[in-house]
Structure 1
Amino acid sequence: MSGETFEPSAGERPRLLLVEDDAAVRRSLQLLFRARGFDVRAYARSAALLADPSVRDACCFVADYSLDETDGIEVLVNLKNRGWSGPAVLFTACASNDLIERALASGFSQVFEKPFQGHALGDVVVRLTGERWAAAQS
């Protein structure tokens, strides 16, 4: 269902990690995910995300593929090497079968090609995290 929101128990907002080096896109996605009920930690650079000790508490990771200093796949691999295991979604302007295969093999649940409709991305994240959050709370 389009426009779904995430509603964890006891008013706690699940943390979502977002890395996007374009400020306008980052802000737009940050607002989208906040409206869906997430505590969004948005980063312009992957190094800042990886340096933040609170990332281990995140329920989901959303990333652009093309970043200034690296790519979203490498960031997810680094997160996993540090013990993080949540669902992840990648978006890209340069989708190819090879890129999609690499992203899925690295642990991304889904790949979106730009331009995409924000509500579709939001719906996928709510679905992916809703199942995980419900299991963690029981």
Structure 2
Amino acid sequence: MEDDAGVRRSLQLLFRARGFEVRAYAAGAALIADPTTRNACCLVADYRLEETDGIEVLSRLREDGWSGPAVLITAFPSADLTERALAHGFSQVLEKPFREHALGDVVARLTGAGEPSALS
């Protein structure tokens, strides 16, 4: 989930090239409202979004019973944010800008190197 259209498209292409089925969302509400997201093997969420943040989105998914791994990406890193993200169930926090292969490698590791669906 990424609100910047260019970054979102780039992430879609990255994950598709690595064999993932990808659903991409600009807003947390759209992701939460889509029942197919509960079958995803991994969530990649931006921290700052217009109407919410990635931590809140993951919390809502967890409340709905989704238990997959999640990666938070942010252009506003801090020790406090990393601590909060990990406490809310994120497996890893990556600082923007990051090398695309680094994110792809993290998701592949968290999902067993190529499970068939990812959210961004």
TM-score, length basis structure 2:
0.93
Paired letter, 2:40? A
Matched, 1:22 2:13: no
**Corresponding residue for residue 44 of structure 1:** 26
Of the three residues 82, 101, 112, the one matched with 2:83 is: 101
Q: Which has the higher contact order (CA 8 A, sep 6+)?
A: 2
CA distance in 2, matches of 1:57, 1:111: 22
Q: Write the distance in 2 (CA, Å) between the matches of 1:80 and 1:66.
A: 19
Identical aligned residues as a percent: 74
Whether contact under 8 Å (1:95, 1:113) holds in the other structure is yes
Equivalents in 1 of 2:32, 2:114: separation in Å? Answer: 22
In the TM superposition, structure 1's runs of 4+ consecutive aligned residues that sit over 3 Å from their partners are none
Superposition TM-score, scaled by structure 1 size: 0.81
Give yes or no for the alignment of 1:85 onto 2:101.
no
Distance 2:96 2:106 in 1: 15
Larger Cα-atom Rg = 1
Query: Superposition pairs for residues 50-61 of structure 1, below 5 Å?
Result: 50-61=32-43
Paired residue total: 115
